[in-house]
Amino acid sequence: MFKNKTFNTLALYYSSIFMAGSIVTAYISIYFSEINFSYSQIGLLNSMGAFISIVSQPIWGSLSDKSENKNNILKIILIGAVLTVFITPLAKENFILAMIGVIAFNFFHKAMSPINDTIVMDLSRKYNFKFSTIRLIGSLGYAIMTAIGGKIVAVKSVYMFYICFFFMFLSFLISFKIPTVKGHKKSKDMKKFSELFKDRKLVKIYFYVFILSSTNAFFQSFHGVYSKEIGIPLELLGIGIMLGSLSQFPIMFIFDKAHKKFGIINLMTLSGLVYGFRWIFYGTLLSSKNILLIWLIHGFNYMLLYLCLVDYVQTFVPKELHTRGQVMNTLTLFGYSSVIGSYLGGQMAKKIGMGKVFIICGIICLISAIIFNVLENKNYKKYRL
């Protein structure tokens, strides 16, 4: 495996790009809190970052699918992120300028994931290695940086932007070594984005994932602030996030076997149930003594849903729509859902407190998982890939 130059290049690229995004993703709300933005302002900033992804990802995804060279589109996105990363910290306490910075950076940054995944999946088939292995290496980079990031942010939160810049620029340099993946510019039967939604099974799955991901968006926007407010040290939070990232590794290793044995519906139901109990634990039991245990079940949440969606799209969606299918996956996991979850969650937290919002999110997930399973489980064999 490690004699494969393409594998090594992509492994280095994924670890670098995950390191770049991890520290900002994990700790940006703490930075906003330290410059005295309110819950509602933090929620709005995070929701705007998600909202711009709804605009940017279909644009970049379509350009990637139709281009003669998908790598060139990726390079443009990478350099765009590099050039916009410092707008937010330069804005300081100016809320409007901070929002401009969030929008500018996320216009590029949020578009990377689906294009990265499409390129790596194509190359994994050509050069005979597993996409899940590259994804695992990226998660390892994420885990390492979030653990280190807790210590860095504890010293001075603005340092996160310097770390992000360094690894984002490194990723841009590495991207020149990635073998070329062509789009489908000359395809006579180029398909429209809307054709994704002709698959009714996929639409039902997206709706369920949207509900779960909306609660996760609230968590991603406020867990750092909430942990800090109840007295959990940032260094311990960083270790928790690292353990959460590492907890995804077993899920990636066993996914193929679990998928064949249980099917997508049952796996996604399990994810929803774990989401529900996790949020309830967060709202009622979170403390320095058990935060690491609560983070250890993180692997059953986002990663399980992500793998189910990626596998479904790559198997059942026409190849001309693969990038746009992955774009829709990302929009569902982090786009539309994040706009709703971050903004409404921030408004609710302001009125009733973050602990109660976590409990409400947990109840929503449990009810959704039960309904989803009852309605769809009778047909779950159709979802076995």
Q: What pLDDT sits at residue 184?
A: 60
CA-wise closest residue to 73 among 358, 382, 380, 323: 323
Q: Are 151 and 238 in contact (CB under 8 A)?
A: yes
Task: Give the H/E segment covering residue 134.
Answer: helix 131-155
Q: Residues 112, 172: contact at Cβ < 8 Å?
A: no
Q: Which pLDDT value is given to residue 270?
A: 94
| pLDDT, position 385 | 40
List C-alpha distances in Å: 308 to 35, 84, 282, 323, 364: 39, 33, 25, 16, 21
Per-residue tokens: 321: 């729509």
Question: Residue 76 corresponds to which tokens in the numbers above?
Answer: 């443009």
Query: Could you say which DSSP state residue 288 is in?
Result: T
CATH class of 5-175+196-383: mainly alpha
Q: What is the pLDDT of residue 69?
A: 86
User: Distance (Å, rounded) from C-alpha 293 to C-alpha 271?
Assistant: 17
Side chain identity at 175, as an amino acid letter? S
Is the Cβ–Cβ distance between 330 and 57 less than 8 Å?
yes
- Lookup: tokens for 331: 């929009």
**pTM of the entire predicted model:** 0.77
| pLDDT for 192 | 66
Domain limits, the chain: 5-175+196-383
Q: What is the pLDDT along the chain (385 residues), one digit of tens a residue?
A: 555 788 999 999 999 999 998 888 888 989 999 999 998 899 899 888 888 888 888 888 778 877 888 899 999 999 999 999 999 999 989 999 999 999 999 999 988 887 888 888 888 888 888 887 888 888 889 888 988 888 898 889 899 999 999 999 999 999 999 998 877 655 555 566 677 777 778 888 899 999 999 999 999 889 988 998 899 998 899 899 889 888 988 888 888 888 888 888 899 999 999 999 999 999 999 999 999 999 999 989 988 998 888 877 877 777 777 667 777 887 788 778 888 888 899 899 989 999 999 999 999 999 999 999 888 766 554 444 4
* Token pair belonging to 74: 């990726």
